[in-house]
Every structure is written in C-alpha cells, then in structure tokens.
Amino acid sequence: MKFGLLKTATATLLAGTIFCGAAIAQEGVASGDTSGKKIAFSNSYAGNSFRQVMIKSFEAMGAKAKADGKIAGTAVVSSNNSVTEQASQIQNLILQGYDAIIVLAGSDTALNGAIKDACNAGIVVVAFASGVTEPCAYVVDYNLDSYAKAELDYISSKLGDKPANILEIRGMAGDGFDKRLNEGVTKALAAHANYKRVGEVYGQWTATVAQKEVSGILPSLPKIDGVLTQGGDGYGAAQAFKAAGRELPIIIMGNRQDELALWKQEHDATGYETFSLGATPSVSQVAFWVAQQVLAGKNVPKFVEVPLLQIQQQDLDAWLKTVPEGGVVNADYPQDLVAKIIDANVKKEPLPMVPAPK
C-alpha cells in the first residue's frame, strides 16, 4: 500500500516536472514552422496619418518576416469606416485561404459574425486596438482605463485638487477604441471629485477635424483647464484655443509630430509643459507577431496587453528628433520583444517598455 502511494506520488511529481518544463519551454519565441503561412490585415479606416503609418509598419514587418522565411506573405485591405464592407472583406480573406487575419475593427460587435466564420474555418483571428467581443478572437490592446487615468493624473499633478473644467476630445463615433477610452475617462474622473467634464466633441483622431469641432464648442464653454485627447487631436485643439484668443490649457498630446512640435514651441516660448502618450502605429506589428506566434504553437493568452508609449517633458527633444514632419512617434516591435510582451502577460509581470531614444 505504501509502495503504491509512493509510486503515485512519484508519478505525480514527474508529471508536475514535465508540466513545468513545458511551461518554461513556452517562454521566448516559439519556433514552429510558419514559412508557408499567410497573414492578412483588415483595417477599418485609413484616413489619418496614424492609420497610414500603422499600415506601413505592418507591411514593413511583414516584408521582413517573409524575407527571413518566417511567413509566405501578407495583404492589407481597408474599408473606409464601413463595417458592412469590412465584414465582406473578411469573408473574402477567408475564401482566399489566409491562415491568420488581423482585424482593426470599425465596430466592437458588427464584425462578430465574420470573425466567427473565420475562426470556424480554422483561421487565427487577432483583433487589436478595437473592442471586438467575439470570444474566439485573440485581442491585442492597451489598458484604456490606465490611458485615461494617466491623462487625469498628469493634470492633477499640475493643478492639484482645486476645481477644474475638462474638455474631452473623443475619436470616431461608434468605434470600439473610442467607447472604451471614454468609459475609462468616466472612471478616472470619479477619482477627481472637483474636476468637471464640461464639453465633449469627436475629433476623429485628426487635427483639422479636432480644430473645427473644438472651435465650434468653445464659445459655449467656461474657462477650460485641461483637455483629454485620444491622439492626433492635440494640435488642432491648441489651434482652436489660439484662434479664440484663449489661454492654452493643459492639452494632453498624442505623440504626433505636429503636437510635439507645437508643445516644444510653446515650452521654449513660455515654459508651457504637458505630457504625451498614446498608442503607437506599430501596435500592428505586435498583432502580426502574436498571430505568427499562435501559428507557431506558442501558448498565447486571449488578451495581450501592450504598453502605451509615453513622452515626458525631459524626453520631448529626443523623441521629436525621431519623427518626420507630419508623422507620428513610432517604435518597431520585433519578434523577440513581442514574445517578451506575451510572456509578461502570461506571468502577470510588468510589461517591457519602449525606452526614450538616446
């Protein structure tokens, strides 16, 4: 009887050792052969510089992966913010035999049927920067509660807890990223009882639209102390305040060249300080490598959080030098870095951050 118990315990210990070994082996880059696999990118909207750089980042990383023999090819389709067209494009990608489809969705629910069809066809679906709710998809995204909290915490670091009026510039009406970030703003505002959201406009992540919309609402607003943004709208917001003859409030910038250049100009002239953070266009590369790693056999969680790229006042000049005129701060995410991000998510450890350039 004791021998039987010992035998069972030994077997259990060996099984545990094997399991631990398998878990350890999962760390790092999975090396399964994906040289014959094709990965497509279904994009909802390509009408601003951020999305255009996002597509170029995906294509550049895909081309390198193909040259290195890691995949067979890639494709990109964009639907001009029509979810009906995007669903149709996904169906076409299914028929064309792609092994993985990366989706930047125009709606968090309207594409669920097409995504489910892709999963049922054995295709790996990775949704990123959009709140797709179909559970078969892997999701690569930012913690948008942390995004909003960082914005308001920065404003609080400058203004303290005295009463303040906040203007929120949102993205695109109906977009999943916008809705979730707006929900994060509501949660973050609850921690600042003296801050009041006095206005809200949709800037579509584009300077010209943001300027027009902010200009339209400013005459009806009291003094604004802080402006929450989603990226690409900081420059337009600043121009609207200037045109109205109003003092610049603390405008959270979004890592685009025009925003950073204006920030530097104002800082050099008056000592104006702010903070910049946001998604990077190259998050498409994270989604690309997550799809490739799933195809290669890596154990990937259904949700992979990506670190936000943040710019502090002391790092402004260094980052600004890296951005072409009209561009947006970007950083490559090679395969080994994405594997580390995946592993950090699995182990619930701090995510590896992108350091400021030297």
pLDDT of 100-119, one tens digit each? 999 999 888 899 999 999 99
pTM value is 0.72
The Cα–Cα gap between 236 and 258 comes to 9
Same domain, 272 and 178: yes
Closest residue by Cα to residue 193 from 166, 220, 229: 166
Same domain, 127 and 180: no
Same domain, 177 and 131: no
Same domain, 169 and 236: yes
Does the structure show a pLDDT above 90 at 138? Answer: yes
Is position 319 within any domain?
no
Is position 152 within any domain?
yes
Phi, psi of 311 (to 5 degrees): -125, 120
Same domain, 155 and 243: yes
Asked if residues 192 and 161 have their Cβ atoms less than 8 Å apart, the reply is yes
Same domain, 160 and 86: no
Same domain, 273 and 290: no
Does the structure show a pLDDT above 60 at 13? Answer: no
Sign of torsion over alpha carbons 233, 45, 125, 295: negative
Same domain, 203 and 224: yes
Same domain, 157 and 260: yes
Is position 18 within any domain?
no
Interval 56-83: pLDDT, tens: 999 999 999 999 999 999 999 999 889 9
Q: Which residues contact 29 (CB under 8 A, 6 or more apart)?
A: 293, 296, 298, 335, 336, 339
List the domain range (segments joined by +) for residue 202. 144-278
pLDDT band for position 269 (50/70/90)? Answer: very high
Domains of the chain: total: 2
